[in-house]
Structure 1
């Protein structure tokens, strides 16, 4: 079998190059978006069967990045005109078929009983097969006795607010109703509690719709400076108002159909700024397919994370694991409940795993026996 990995900013060029180099019988093994030198690239691994005696037989482990000034030949037939959404659906189908074929081959008997119990629990909760395969391979490769080290390589944590972030301007983006406005205010209040002497501001990044009046009212009641940013000039004024050590937490209205995050940041004069981090605000009440759509739509070439809101409304928390695997972003903050002052906490590995395995909300001081049923407690102990 001949295997090659291709990278390019344009999916169409990647597909055309695969068909040109590997032929029409090539099979797509994986498809993901990676960051390289600050750019988001489409990375596709493809394979084609070859004769064992052929000099080209075997696995090629190098990655081919297609030069940007190279025009790849167009794919023949109707495939050249297939919309991007259709390609994505086809890749998801191929990926699903491959995972279905691979899953029965998982030798779970190689794992310790505690590990098997934790893996079965994750599967019942709704963790995707691709994540389970990744965790299984990681456990068997490293010889670890629990699943948490392997899971921690999938679900990373970078607390916000904390000194782990070098950026001073934190933009919260996501779908309507995700809780961006309250999350902005909660983060600003948490930052003020952490460093009372530090200037903390909030802002609304206007897009022609809405006026940020709700955030403005909340900010006035909390004694926090409020800004409206509608373009590059307003953004420069905001940066000047921060001084040398100020911070700002800003909400961005949801994207319009066909719009992407990089376009929105360029319109505001924020694209490429080393001071800016962009955080995706989502709720675990969303389905995995919906989380995938959000991860693709709100992807941006800037440092970022995932902020989870409305945790108290979710029936399980497999989405935390699935989304971290899909988006390749760390978890930064966890929010639940209506209280504005104490219902958001910086993310920690302990808090994440208590959510996943025990359904225990951050700050819940109930005894372990009251945090969930026996199956969840047993799975937590096994992990």
Structure 2
């Protein structure tokens, strides 16, 4: 990681220097006023992932060719290993060994895009007991922990995930829902996008409309100050930025001092219609001991719901909230297993609408 110090007459000019030199993905480590030659000025320390100088002169085609060349070998090898494992498993997955009703359930889950790993587990469970229903098997694979203040002892909740997943809207929806259920709740909305996205303005707007506290987090010191303020609030909701490049969630939380925050829970916000390859990538990028749940968004836009089962099985993380519809009010619900089974088998969204 490349780190550099910038000084200018004011913070606006200093941030402009950071952007010009290190780019928009630079992380602000500190921002303070110092005295230089008898005059006060703004000093900003910023850092960015190191990139070889030669790489900036290369074309997109060069980068793509190198990426394909570098990954084709291990991707091919991993694909062969998975195929060999499944070939070994398929002879054992003789569907004649389970009941017609159980076979029908497996066929339905396949149409819902439940992946081979989860299907293998389900089949093995059903084969052990001819009387066992599919729901009892799924109960053991999917955990829920509804997003409600009473169910989460920690005060600070951060929302992580890829850009466009719906982190900001989910945060606002949950804040409005909590405020409606408990009007006296002291809630703080915070943005850590560094002023780069419109989500900051949206968050500030709804905080002002709903009489909620609002904080902007641009430096490590800002995060530390918010942690010291935690006793003033019943719930703090932080909108984390999409992580650039190869930066992982663990690296981000360590950089900003969040990795030592004991009362912090991080929620991974995802859509059901990402590909399985993308889900695998997200699990690697966002893995963290502080990662506490998955929040599913844009459920009204998806065609199948198998991804909810796949992620629950692969990650072991509980599902905490389900977001559906375009409205900010009454379009998110703390997750329950009953809601998930209704979506999976009846295509019924938490709000009661039937998904075609």
TM-score by length of 2: 0.74
Aligned to 2:350: 362
Aligned to 1:195: 182
Aligned to 1:326: 314
1:266 aligns with 2:254: yes
Q: Give the drift of 1:89.
A: 5.4
Aligned to 1:292: 280
Q: 1:107 aligns with which of 86, 90, 94?
A: 94
Q: 2:103 aligns with which of 116, 126, 129?
A: 116
Q: Give the drift of 1:189.
A: 1.2
Q: 2:157 aligns with which of 166, 170, 176?
A: 170
Q: Give the drift of 1:236.
A: 2.8
| Contact 1:334–1:347 (Cα < 8 Å) also in 2 | yes
| Contact 2:176–2:329 (Cα < 8 Å) also in 1 | yes
Q: Give the drift of 1:326.
A: 2.2
Q: Give the drift of 1:96.
A: 2.8
Q: 1:312 aligns with which of 300, 304, 323?
A: 300
| Contact 1:112–1:145 (Cα < 8 Å) also in 2 | no
| Contact 1:260–1:297 (Cα < 8 Å) also in 2 | yes
| Contact 2:295–2:319 (Cα < 8 Å) also in 1 | yes
Q: For the residues of structure 2 that align with 1:372 and 1:340, how far apart are their CA atoms? A: 19
From the superposition, tell whether residues 144 and 218 of structure 1 become closer, same or farther in structure 2 (CA, over 3 Å): farther
Deviations 1:3-36 (A, max 9, x none): xxxxxxxxxxxxxxxxxxxxxxxxxxxxxxxxxx
Q: For the residues of structure 2 that align with 1:126 and 1:202, how far apart are their CA atoms? A: 36
Q: For the residues of structure 2 that align with 1:147 and 1:194, how far apart are their CA atoms? A: 35
SS of 1:215 mapped into structure 2: helix
SS of 2:83 mapped into structure 1: helix
SS of 2:328 mapped into structure 1: coil
| Contact 2:306–2:344 (Cα < 8 Å) also in 1 | yes
Aligned to 2:17: none
Aligned to 2:11: none
Q: For the residues of structure 1 that align with 2:240 and 2:220, how far apart are their CA atoms? A: 15
| Contact 1:324–1:330 (Cα < 8 Å) also in 2 | yes
Q: For the residues of structure 2 that align with 1:154 and 1:89, how far apart are their CA atoms? A: 29
Number of corresponding residues = 287
1:229 aligns with 2:217: yes
| Contact 1:186–1:340 (Cα < 8 Å) also in 2 | yes
1:350 aligns with 2:322: no
Which of 186-195 and 255-264 deviates more? Answer: 186-195
From the superposition, tell whether residues 280 and 192 of structure 1 become closer, same or farther in structure 2 (CA, over 3 Å): same
Aligned to 1:49: none
TM-score by length of 1: 0.70
| Contact 1:199–1:242 (Cα < 8 Å) also in 2 | no
Aligned to 1:48: none
SS of 2:243 mapped into structure 1: coil
Aligned to 2:133: 146
Q: Give the drift of 1:146.
A: 0.3
Deviations 1:175-224 (A, max 9, x none): 11111111011111122123222211111123573471221112212221
SS of 1:243 mapped into structure 2: helix
Aligned to 2:118: 131
Q: For the residues of structure 2 that align with 1:302 and 1:141, how far apart are their CA atoms? A: 35
SS of 1:131 mapped into structure 2: helix
| Contact 2:186–2:232 (Cα < 8 Å) also in 1 | no
Q: Give the drift of 1:335.
A: 0.2
Q: For the residues of structure 2 that align with 1:188 and 1:307, how far apart are their CA atoms? A: 14
After the TM superposition, which parts of structure 1 deviate over 3 Å for at least 4 consecutive aligned residues?
82-89, 140-144, 206-211
| Contact 1:157–1:348 (Cα < 8 Å) also in 2 | yes
Deviations 1:14-64 (A, max 9, x none): xxxxxxxxxxxxxxxxxxxxxxxxxxxxxxxxxxxxxxxxxxxxxxxxxxx
Q: Give the drift of 1:318.
A: 0.9
Superposition map of 1:43-82 within 5 A? none
From the superposition, tell whether residues 239 and 142 of structure 1 become closer, same or farther in structure 2 (CA, over 3 Å): farther
Could you tell me which runs of 5 or more consecutive residues in structure 2 were left unpaired when the two chains were aligned.
1-68
Q: For the residues of structure 1 that align with 2:125 and 2:240, how far apart are their CA atoms? A: 37
Q: 1:179 aligns with which of 166, 185, 197?
A: 166
| Contact 2:300–2:355 (Cα < 8 Å) also in 1 | no
